[in-house]
Amino acid sequence: MLSVVLLALGGTISVPGTARGARLSGAEITAAVPGLAELGVPLDVRDVHAVPSGSLTFAQVLDVIAVASGAVAEGADGVVVTQGTDTLEETGFLADLVWPHEAPFVLTGAMRQPAMAGADGPGNVLAAVRVAMAREARGAGALVVLNDEVHAARWVRKTHSTNTATFASPSTGPLGHVVEGRVRMLLAPPRHEPLSAGFDRERLEAARVALHVVTLDDDGTQLQGLETTHSGLVVAGFGVGHVPGVLAPRLGALAEQMPVVLTSRTGSGSVLRHTYSAPGSEQDLRRRGLIDGGFLDPYKARVLLRLLLAAGAGRGDIAEVFALRG
């Protein structure tokens, strides 16, 4: 018989309302899901790291992944993680980078608190459990399931601050849908070898990666002294990967001292490589040593870069990984 482990963190899905202060436990969350018991799937519910997703750390997320991996090794057929949606697109990608199993790793949450009209948490949990136990979802890595849509953690983004349909994959669309209780997978995401999950915690804490969003008339003043406080930098450039010409030399100087990854601030699409050549263009920045982030958005590029730095990767290795995964 199939079995699923559900790991409950914090977030909106666990907020009980003003009547009580404590968060809902995983058992309380699942008890409020209509139809969950009727699935006939043994559900091993555990509470871990009861914090809002905005307060999660890399180390805590890796702890959750380790617990999930142990559960699969003990026989679980799939994993569901409930958490806040604020950082779900980042924690999902972190899980996807290191998840070594065929068993689905499914993340879900809610945009409305349980006491609100139209609370979406119960429906999202039910859909997530269906995906976690679906043969069609095996081998797809980490998945994000909300609003009856199945998204690859690699592509998904939170696109609206309050809408229950906030999670979307602008570059690809969803991988599948849950329709009348049936998981329908329409696309298969490409999979890569997982990065080693055995990251040194001290090195992980030391691998500080900054994110700089380029804006109109940006002269790079905010980047002064960055080489003394951080080990890497992700640049969210204009459009296809451009910055003001005056900023380019500063980024080039930083690229001589740390890995600097170029992404787009637009939220979808890839940075270019060979189309524009003016000062501050993608060709100019690549000549100055910046690494092409490809289709990765700035937030996901930062997750990948920090893991690589924590693993001790050098600039050449980092460029190769981004060329493969970006």
Q: Report the pLDDT value the prediction gives residue 198, as an integer from 0 to 100.
A: 63
Q: Report the pLDDT value the prediction gives residue 97, as an integer from 0 to 100.
A: 97
Tokens (6 digits) for 309 = 């730095």
Bridging pattern class, strands 260-264 and 232-237: parallel
pTM attached to this predicted model: 0.95
Write phi, then psi, for 97 (nearest 5 degrees).
-70, -30
Give the model confidence (pLDDT) of 275-320 as tens digits: 999 999 999 999 999 999 999 999 999 999 999 999 999 999 999 9
CA distance 35 to 178: 14
CA distance 217 to 87: 29
Q: Does the pLDDT of residue 260 top 60, yes or no?
A: yes
Select the more confidently predicted residue: 211 or 19: 211
Residues 6+ apart with CB under 8 A from 182: 130
107 close to 153: Cβ distance less than 8 angstroms? yes
11 close to 82: Cβ distance less than 8 angstroms? yes
Q: Give me the chain's average pLDDT, please.
A: 95
326 close to 292: Cβ distance less than 8 angstroms? yes
Beta strands in 171-231 (DSSP E): 176-179, 182-185, 209-213
SS3 of 140, please?
coil
Q: Report the pLDDT value the prediction gives residue 22, as an integer from 0 to 100.
A: 78
pLDDT band at 21 (very low <50, low <70, confident <90, very high): low
The mean pLDDT value for 16-35 works out to: 85
pLDDT band at 201 (very low <50, low <70, confident <90, very high): confident
Residues 6+ apart with CB under 8 A from 27: 45
The mean pLDDT value for 20-42 works out to: 91
83 close to 39: Cβ distance less than 8 angstroms? no
Bridging pattern class, strands 176-179 and 182-185: antiparallel
β-strand partners of 7: 46, 81
Q: CB burial class (10 A; 0-12, 13-18, 19+) of residue 268? A: middle
Find the helix or strand (DSSP H, E) in which 61 lies: helix 58-73
| Count of beta carbons in the 10 Å neighbourhood of residue 105 | 26
Least confident of 78-92, 125-139, 194-208: 194-208
Closest CA to 290 of 265, 315, 313, 268: 315
Give the model confidence (pLDDT) of 102-160 as tens digits: 999 999 999 999 999 999 999 999 999 999 999 999 999 999 999 999 999 999 999 99
pLDDT band at 196 (very low <50, low <70, confident <90, very high): confident
48 close to 80: Cβ distance less than 8 angstroms? no
pLDDT band at 190 (very low <50, low <70, confident <90, very high): confident
Tokens (6 digits) for 304 = 């990948």
Which residue has tokens 């993340």? 107
Q: Does the pLDDT of residue 46 top 80, yes or no?
A: yes
Give the model confidence (pLDDT) of 153-186 as tens digits: 999 999 999 999 999 999 999 999 999 999 999 9
Give the model confidence (pLDDT) of 215-238 as tens digits: 999 999 999 999 999 999 999 999
Q: Does the pLDDT of residue 45 top 90, yes or no?
A: yes
